[in-house]
């Protein structure tokens, strides 16, 4: 194979894996949108918050230490030792469930039957709140998250691919980040797990019932509010996974919350209501973005990754306004 073709394969592979990372975030959106019709802008910040908490627990930071120090003039910063990774993850998960419960209690309960735009704004408010809260709790410096995932390029894969090239041409093998591979496997497990959960458990069936029709679900005795807490908890879990992956990749910092913005074009491409849509949309955006950066970027001066996904999604929407797998929009008067 010629080096140019191998390069193309490398770009596509990396794009696919970047796409999976986007899908991880988009998944949380879809879950909540399906169950409650809420477009949860806070999903990215939830990922940030989960990652911050995880790091804080792992390294044994004292929560709110800055605030306490400012008020009481103390010099707190760390407990004696941190928690084991598994324990820290469990505690973080418990906190995300608590968060889901509080959100339902304090915010959503009062906003039932409001217009979608109001609910959307409420989640933006929530995003701001969580962002400030997370920073206040754990400090806003960039943190390193290490939960024992592999990282760095895969040498084995480089060696394998080096032999594929036609004799006599220069080629140094493909670069694939092992972290991306790990993230991909985790995402696959997550999606399979979620599908199995919603397909084969009673709670899962209740979730699907609520997604189908709120009124009908309530009339057969499904508690809408419990379901919402469950859905937000699951979204919190997905956020935790996404937070771990993105956090290990690029450090835990404020920009982590901006991955929510990356997930939006994925969503409109795949459709707001479809889990497979989130995955396929993520893959398309990931590959499209990397290909565009590699082949179109040099023509217009680079750095087009920021907006290319949106343009792609926009062009796509003009053809299919409800996204790839979204429910058909039916309007009546």
The residues, any chain, with a CB within 8 Å of residue 188's CB and separated by 6 or more, are: none
Distance CA 84, CA 75 (A): 25
Cβ burial, residue 92 (10 Å; 0-12/13-18/19+): buried
Beta bridge partners of 78: 61
CA–chain centroid gap for 70, Å, is 34
Member of 25, 48, 99, 127 binding other proteins (CB under 8 A): 127
Q: Which stretch binds other proteins (CB under 8 A): 103-111, 150-158, 239-247, 287-295?
A: 103-111
Write the CB contacts of 296 (distance below 8 Å, at least 6 apart in sequence).
304, 308
SS3 222: coil
**Selected binder of other proteins within 218, 249, 310, 324 (CB under 8 A):** 310
| 112 near other proteins (CB under 8 A) | no
Tell me, what DSSP letter sits at residue 257? G
Q: Alpha-carbon distance 307 to 311, whole Å? A: 6
Among 129, 172, 175, 197, binds other proteins (CB under 8 A): 129
Nearest to other proteins of 37, 150 (CB atom) = 37
95 vs 304, beta carbon nearer other proteins = 304
Closer to other proteins at the Cβ: 202 or 333? 333
Number of residues that bind other proteins (CB under 8 A): 53
**Closest separation in Å from C-beta 326 to other proteins:** 9
Site stretch for other proteins (CB under 8 A), options 48-56, 164-172, 212-220, 323-331: 323-331
Among 11, 93, 147, 304, binds other proteins (CB under 8 A): 304
Among positions 226-285, residues that touch other proteins (CB under 8 A) are 261, 264-265, 267-268, 272
> Which of the residues 136 through 155 are near other proteins (CB under 8 A)?
136, 140
Q: Measured at the alpha carbon of residue 118, what is the angle toward residues 266 and 33, in degrees to the nearest 5? A: 35
| 66 contributes a contact to other proteins by CB under 8 A | yes
Span from 113-121, 155-163, 273-281, 288-296 in contact with other proteins (CB under 8 A): 113-121
Rounded Cα–Cα distance for residues 200 and 88 (Å):
29
Minimum distance of other proteins from residue 24's CB (angstroms): 18
Instruction: Answer yes or no whether residue 225 interacts with other proteins by CB under 8 A.
Output: no
Rounded to the nearest 5°, which phi and psi values hold at 221?
Answer: 90, 20
Among 79, 128, 156, 172, binds other proteins (CB under 8 A): 128
DSSP structural state of residue 119: H
Shortest spacing between CB 18 and other proteins, in angstroms: 17
User: What is the spatial distance between Cα 253 and Cα 238, in angstroms, rounded to a whole number?
Assistant: 18
**What number of helices (H) and strands (E) belong to the chain?**
14, 0
Using CB under 8 A, which of 1, 70, 196, 216 touches other proteins? 70
């Amino acid at each position: 194979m010629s080096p140019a073709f191998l390069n193309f394969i490398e770009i596509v592979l990396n794009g696919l894996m970047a796409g999976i990372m986007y899908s991880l975030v988009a998944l949380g959106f879809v879950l909540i949108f399906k169950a409650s019709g809420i477009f949860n802008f806070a999903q990215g910040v939830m990922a940030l918050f989960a990652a911050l908490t995880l790091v804080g627990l792992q390294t044994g930071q004292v929560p709110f230490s800055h605030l306490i120090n400012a008020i009481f003039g103390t010099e707190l910063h760390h407990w004696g030792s941190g928690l084991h990774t598994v324990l820290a993850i469990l505690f973080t998960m418990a906190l995300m469930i608590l968060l889901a419960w509080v959100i339902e209690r304090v915010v959503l309960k009062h906003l039932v039957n409001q217009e979608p735009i109001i609910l959307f704004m409420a989640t933006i408010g929530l995003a701001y709140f969580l962002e400030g809260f997370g920073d206040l709790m754990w400090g806003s410096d960039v943190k390193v998250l290490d939960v024992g995932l592999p990282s760095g390029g895969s040498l084995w894969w480089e060696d394998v691919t080096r032999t594929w090239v036609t004799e006599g041409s220069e080629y140094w093998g493909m670069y694939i980040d092992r972290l991306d591979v790990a993230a991909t496997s985790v995402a696959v497990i997550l999606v399979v797990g979620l599908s199995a959960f919603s397909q084969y458990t009673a709670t899962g069936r209740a979730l699907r019932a609520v997604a189908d029709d709120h009124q009908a679900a309530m009339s057969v005795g499904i508690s809408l509010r419990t379901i919402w807490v469950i859905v937000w908890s699951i979204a919190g879990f997905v956020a935790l996974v996404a937070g771990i992956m993105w956090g290990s990749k690029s450090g835990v910092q404020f920009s982590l919350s901006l991955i929510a913005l990356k997930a939006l074009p994925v969503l409109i491409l795949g459709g707001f209501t479809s889990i497979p849509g989130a995955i396929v949309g993520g893959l398309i955006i990931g590959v499209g973005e990397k290909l565009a950066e590699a082949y179109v970027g040099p023509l217009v001066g680079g750095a087009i990754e920021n907006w290319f996904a949106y343009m792609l999604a926009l062009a796509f929407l003009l053809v299919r306004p409800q996204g790839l797998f979204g429910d058909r929009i039916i309007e009546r008067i």
